[in-house]
């Protein structure tokens, strides 16, 4: 057996720079800006970016004075994220882990966000994903979820639509606001998507 290391699709995508074209937003998503502007996160609170990739949203949140944690399964993505944080002089706690097994304490997070992570998680793992979010969020904390919708034709994604959101979250420790149609924008184009703000129950 040789020493060849076979890297994951995600590691290869971050190493090649493909992520910049296909899924990293060229601007800070305005829905995330709106969450901060509306005061939906306690001042100085702990925020979690699930599937943080190269760290753009986690860095934005850290710049607003929050204690930002970014979790991703790609080591290459986190290398880029840490370099970006160091260059910007911003302190972000980046952790290498799966979204279905978060390395955080119970009820330790005041706000979480996901832009494009859940929609690449198979349905048979989504129960674990939702369970982990419920575990790490504090009672009353909000979760901003964005993912490709049922109308998307992107290869490799599994819709995050109203049916899926209700199946895994509503009645399983979360309530939600309306599911809103939106576009996930990257340099390569737009992907039809859905957005929802979920709230962790108090029990």
* Angle, vertex CA 54, rays to CA 35 and CA 183, nearest 5: 50
Bridge pairing between strands 174-176 and 137-148: unpaired
Q: Does residue 65 lie in a domain region?
A: yes
Average pLDDT of the residues in 40-55: 97
Evaluate the CA torsion angle 61, 102, 45, 67 in order and state its sign.
negative
How many structural domains does the chain have? 2
Q: What is the CA radius of gyration of the chain?
A: 16
Same domain? For 77 and 127 the reply is no
SS3 (DSSP) at 7: coil
Q: Which residue among 62, 97, 132 closes a domain?
A: 97
* 33 within a domain of the structure (yes/no): no
User: For residue 178, what are its two tokens?
Assistant: 């309306």
Q: How confident is the model at residue 150 (pLDDT cuts 50, 70, 90)?
A: confident
Residue 53's domain spans which residues? 42-97
pTM: 0.93
Examine the domain organization and report whether 126 and 156 are in the same domain: yes
Looking at the structure, do residues 87 and 124 belong to the same domain, yes or no?
no
Do residues 149 and 191 both lie within one domain?
yes
The domain that holds 66 is classified in CATH as 3.40.50.150
Lowest mean pLDDT among 105-109, 133-137, 180-184, 187-191: 187-191
Same domain for 89 and 139, yes or no, is no
Span 195-199, average pLDDT: 98
In a domain, residue 164? The reply is: yes
Instruction: Identify whether 23 is part of a domain.
Output: no
**Res. 154 pLDDT band, cuts 50 70 90:** low
Report the pLDDT value the prediction gives residue 178, as an integer from 0 to 100.
Answer: 98
Taking phi over 0 as left and psi of -120 to 50 as alpha, with beta for the rest, 39 belongs to: left
């Amino acid at each position: 057996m040789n020493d060849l290391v076979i890297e994951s699709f995600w590691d290869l995508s971050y190493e090649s720079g493909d992520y910049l074209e296909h899924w990293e937003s060229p601007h800070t998503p305005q829905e995330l800006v709106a969450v901060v502007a509306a005061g939906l996160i306690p001042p100085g609170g702990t925020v979690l970016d699930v599937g943080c990739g190269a760290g753009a949203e986690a860095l934005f949140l850290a710049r607003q004075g929050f204690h930002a944690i970014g979790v991703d399964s790609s080591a290459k993505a986190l290398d880029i994220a840490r370099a970006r944080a160091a260059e910007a002089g911003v302190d972000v706690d980046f952790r290498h882990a799966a979204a279905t097994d978060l390395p955080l304490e119970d009820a330790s997070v005041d706000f979480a966000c996901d832009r494009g992570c859940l929609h690449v998680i198979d349905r048979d793992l989504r129960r674990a994903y939702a369970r982990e979010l419920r575990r790490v969020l504090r009672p009353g904390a909000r979760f901003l979820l964005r993912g490709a919708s049922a109308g998307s034709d992107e290869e490799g994604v599994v819709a995050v639509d109203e049916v899926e959101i209700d199946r895994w979250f509503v009645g399983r420790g979360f309530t939600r606001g309306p599911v809103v149609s939106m576009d996930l924008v990257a340099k390569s184009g737009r992907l039809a998507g859905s957005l929802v703000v979920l709230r962790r129950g108090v029990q």
